Chains A and B, each alone.
Chain A
C-alpha cells in the first residue's frame, strides 16, 4: 500500500529538484548582477566621503555657485538609482526564495501526511540510481534554508543602509561579499548532481 504513496512522493521530489535547479540558476545570475552594483555603491560612498572631507571654498572651484550641494545631490541621485536596481534584484531573489520554499514545504507536507504509512526502511532505502527519500528531503530542506537565510541577510544589509551614515555605505560591498557562502552553494550543486539520474528516471 505504500507503493503509490512512494511514487507520488518521488514525483513531488522530482518536481522540487527541477524547480530547485532552475531557481539556482536564476539565483546565481542575479547575484552576479549585484556585484557591479555593490561596487558602484561603494564608489559612490567613497566619493561622498571625499566631498565631505574637502572644503570647496579653499579650492579653485569656489567660483562655481552651490557646487557642493549640486555634487551631493548628484551623488545621492546616483546612489538612489543603484539602490533601486539592487531592490529590483532583491525582488527576483525573493521570488526565487518563495518558489523554493513553496515547493519544499509542499513535499515535506506530502511526506508528513503519509508518514504513518511509510516506514523508515522504505524512506532510507537507496538504489544505484536514486538516493533515499530521507536524503533527498534533507537536501531540499537544506537548500531551502540556505536560500531563506541568504535572502534575509542580504535584505537586512540593504534595508539598514542609511544615506547619512557613510561608513555603512562604504562597508556595504565588503559585507555583501562576506555573506557569500560558497560551501552551501557547492552543496546545492552537488545535490543536483547526485539526483541527476533520479530526475531523468521518470
Chain B
C-alpha cells in the first residue's frame, strides 16, 4: 500500500447559504445580535445540585480492529488497547461493551443494515437503494433509540434533539443513522455555520425586534399548521405519514417560537472554509463538538448525536498518515500497512471522543460535571471492515447518567443482541421500555450496566 499524496480540494473555497443567512436576515429587519465568546454556563441547574440527564450518540464508520480495540484484564481492572488508549483519562467514566451483536435481518447489504440497525435495532423497508440480499433496500423501518427517548423527554427543551454531522454525504440508507420513524431519516446538519445560525443567531438579539419576529412567525406558522392539518385529513395513503411528519416539525417549531429565548452565550467560530472538503474533516469535527457541548450546556436539548462521515466512508486520513478509510478497511489482515493505518484512523476518532469528553467534563454542574450527568455512547456500523461483520460491534459508553450507570468497567458478552443495550439506554434515561426494534424479540435491558 503506497501512501497516497494529498488530494486537492476542488470544491468552492467556502460553501454556505449563498442566498442568505439568518444573521443577515436578523440584521436587515433591525435586530442586532451581540456575539460573545463561548462561556460554559448553566448556572441555574448548577445551583440545583444535579444537572439534567443527557444522551449523546456517536458514530464512526467501517468497523474497528477488535484485537487492538478490546481492553485486556478483568471487568473492574482492565487495560485499554491501542485504539482506545487516548481515552485513558476517562477509564473510570467508561463502560466498554465487548461482544454485542447487531442483528441484521431482511434487505440490505452489510453497511446499509449496519447503519440503519445501529440505533433502530430494526429491519429496513424495501426501497430503491439496491443493496442485494434478495431485494432492494430502502430506509429503516422504525425510529432510532434517541428519537424514542426524545419523544419522552424532548418536551423539556427548545429542541427535542439535535443532530450534528461531519461530511455525512447525500441522503441514502448508507449515510443516515437517526430516524424519526419508518421512512423518516433525520439528516444531521453538516454545515457548522448553518448549525450556528440555527442554534445561536437569535440569542442576544434585542428583545423588541425579537418579539416582533416571534409574533410574525407565530402567524406564519399558524397558516402553515392549518394547511398541513387540512392536507393530513385528506390523505389516507402512505403519503399521509409525510404530511404528519411535516406537521410534527411545525408543532415543534411553534413550541420553540413561544419559549423564552435561552440565556446562553454563543461560541464565536471561524467558518471561512469549505465544510465538505476532506482536508477540513478535523476542523469541522471540532466545531461541531464545540456547538454540541454548548447546546447541551445551555439546555437547548438533552438528546444529541454526532455522526462522523458515513458507512463506506472514504475519508482520506492523511493527517494521521493513512489513506482512504473504506479502501483500507477492506484489505486483508496479513497486510501490515492496513493494520497500522486503520489503527491510526480509529485512534484519531478516540482523540475526537476525548475532545468531546474534555469539553463536557469542563462544564460544572452541581457537585460534578455535565459528563457525570450524561450518557455518551459510541458505536459503529460494522465489527470489522474486511469482514463486514456484525459481531462484535464495538460499543463504549461514557458518563454515569446522574448515577444510573456503573462506570469504570469492561463488560464482555457472548453475542448478546445490541437491541438490549438500546433498551438499557432508554431505561438509564428514565424511559420505561422493555423491548426495542424488531430484530430482537427478547426482553429487558442489557444486564450489568446499571449501578
Q: Do A and B come from one complex?
A: no
Chain A residues within CB distance 8 Å of chain B: none
